[in-house]
Amino acid sequence: MISILGAAPLLRFDENGIWPRIEVEEREAVNRALEAGILYSGLGGPEVTQLERTYHRSYPLRISVATSSCTAALHLAAEICCFFPGEVIVPALTFSGTTHPFAQAGYDLVFADVDRRTFNLCPEALEAAITPNTVGIVPVHLHGLPADMSRIMELSEKRGLWVVEDACQAHGATINGVEVGNFGEVACFSFSSSKPITGGQGGMMVIGEADMAMRAIQLRSYGEDVGAFNETRTYVSHAIGYNYMLDELSAALINAMLPKLARYNSRAQHNARILGTELSECVGLTVPFVPAGFTHIYHKYRLVFDPAQFPSGFRTLFYKALQAENVPVSYWQFVPVPHYPVFQDTGAYPNTEFVLANSIIIGDERNPGSCAIQVRL
Ligand SMILES: Cc1ncc(COP(=O)(O)O)c(C=O)c1O
């Protein structure tokens, strides 16, 4: 018998499954930062500096710039990419945080549909969305699967467009062994509380060009020319900037978690393999697709139903049945981002609409990969 019909839930609530996982290293790191007594510096304190150095080791050809959130990182990216904003293409299936920074920086947002299997920007839809006014593309590595960067970079080079990768959900995901963050002019990561590595809040930019990185660093702190933490601050603004510096406690937490990323990712991948093997035997269910040469880190595990195989209302019933078994489930959005009232875009995005109407996310937003950690079907 199943729980929705009155049986005991299949799964116990698992305290270890709660995300973020705060272990002894995280507590020690935050205590270390508290004892150092520096909670914030507009120049970046020791923890922020350490975090930027760690990212620099992973992206040796790029400059790492820590920020207070990924939204802040994307805003800086929007500002440093182009002085004359035109149209920027974003996927119709993403979190709205991808879009606002570009609108705020004065760009016109143009949405393109996603691929039904990868949930990432569909290269054909992307190409069709390019106009003479297009200046940039913002591919999102949604749910932890890299977007099709070889096709996107090929198009961007052909059409002279810049690319900002929204890598918020995909820390450590790769294409042919190359980590996301290495493709576009700029890539932005999030450390908000649901992400694979978290500081509560926080973001990271990795930037290919030194001039662009210098401008991002300047804009991050009120347009000031800032030096290293222990140098004297000038307080002189050269541009209209922001207060987008990451704080020390968040940086300390992220520093403690980063060494665990590979372990967290491989556990999610291991468990996703178990789920995938079991679920792909069920007629009408499609498990996440991973193109050859790509790695997926399963920040979210989206399961798609074939509506022709199930009676109407099946998705809701299945959702409730999983909830009753204590399996974490969510929908993670209901309509394409362009259909939000703020964007007033009534265009058709059939793949995005299909995916959002016929899928659920197994696993809790607070606990990336928890589907895989907790569920044994
Ligand atoms: C795809 C995507 N883009 C942007 C953001 C914004 O990141 P942050 O919350 O760090 O500002 C998020 C997550 O929150 C996200 O999932």
Q: Provide the pLDDT for residue 364.
A: 66
Q: Provide the pLDDT for residue 232.
A: 81
Task: Categorize the per-residue pLDDT at 16 as very low, low, confident or very high, splitting at 50, 70 and 90.
Answer: low
**Statement: residue 325 has pLDDT above 90:** no
Query: Cα-Cα-Cα-Cα dihedral of 286, 291, 294, 296, to 10°?
Result: -10
Residues 9-26 have a mean pLDDT of 76
Residues 272-282 have a mean pLDDT of 89
Q: Provide the pLDDT for residue 53.
A: 97
What are the C-alpha distances in Å from 53 to residues 44, 50, 303, 327?
12, 5, 37, 38
Mean pLDDT for all residues in the chain: 92
**Statement: residue 33 has pLDDT above 60:** yes
**Statement: residue 81 has pLDDT above 90:** yes
Query: Cα-Cα-Cα-Cα dihedral of 24, 30, 34, 38, to 10°?
Result: 150
Query: In a mutational test of the pocket of ligand 1, which residue from 69, 70, 186, 205 has the highest number of ligand atoms less than 8 Å from its CB?
Result: 70
- Cβ–ligand 1 distance for 295 under 6 Å, the answer no
Residues 121-130 have a mean pLDDT of 98
The contacts of residue 232 (CB under 8 Å, 6+ apart) are: none
Q: What does the radius of gyration of the chain's CA atoms come to, in whole angstroms?
A: 21
Share of residues in the chain with pLDDT > 90 (%): 79
**Statement: residue 369 has pLDDT above 60:** no
Domain boundaries, the chain: 24-258, 260-374
CATH number of this structure's domain 260-374, picked from the four choices 3.30.200.20, 3.90.1150.10, 3.40.50.12660, 2.60.40.10: 3.90.1150.10
**Statement: residue 13 has pLDDT above 70:** no
**Statement: residue 61 has pLDDT above 80:** yes
Strands (E), 106-185: 108-112, 134-137, 162-166, 174-175, 178-179
CA 58 – CA 346 distance, rounded (Å):
41
- Cβ–ligand 1 distance for 69 under 6 Å, the answer yes
Interval 289-316: pLDDT, tens: 999 999 999 999 999 999 999 999 999 9
**Statement: residue 169 has pLDDT above 90:** yes
**Statement: residue 267 has pLDDT above 90:** no
Within 13 Å and on the Cβ side, how many CA atoms surround 30? 13
Task: Categorize the per-residue pLDDT at 371 as very low, low, confident or very high, splitting at 50, 70 and 90.
Answer: very low
CA 54 – CA 204 distance, rounded (Å):
11
Measuring CA to CA, which residue among 365, 362, 366, 358 is closest to residue 376? Answer: 362
**Statement: residue 374 has pLDDT above 50:** no
Residues 327-343 have a mean pLDDT of 94
For residue 280, the CA-to-ligand 1 centroid distance in Å is 30
Measuring CA to CA, which residue among 191, 158, 164, 193 is closest to residue 180? Answer: 164
Task: Categorize the per-residue pLDDT at 176 as very low, low, confident or very high, splitting at 50, 70 and 90.
Answer: very high
Q: Provide the pLDDT for residue 377.
A: 32
Q: Provide the pLDDT for residue 375.
A: 40
- Cβ–ligand 1 distance for 67 under 6 Å, the answer no
The whole-model pTM stands at 0.95
> Which pair of structure tokens corresponds to residue 338?
């362009």
Q: Provide the pLDDT for residue 363.
A: 80
* Residue 282 CB neighbour total at 10 angstroms: 13
For residue 36, the CA-to-ligand 1 centroid distance in Å is 30
Phi, psi of 301 (to 5 degrees): -115, 100
DSSP state of 3: G
> Which pair of structure tokens corresponds to residue 343?
């964007």
CATH number of this structure's domain 24-258, picked from the four choices 3.40.50.300, 1.10.540.10, 3.30.365.10, 3.40.640.10: 3.40.640.10
For residue 100, the CA-to-ligand 1 centroid distance in Å is 11
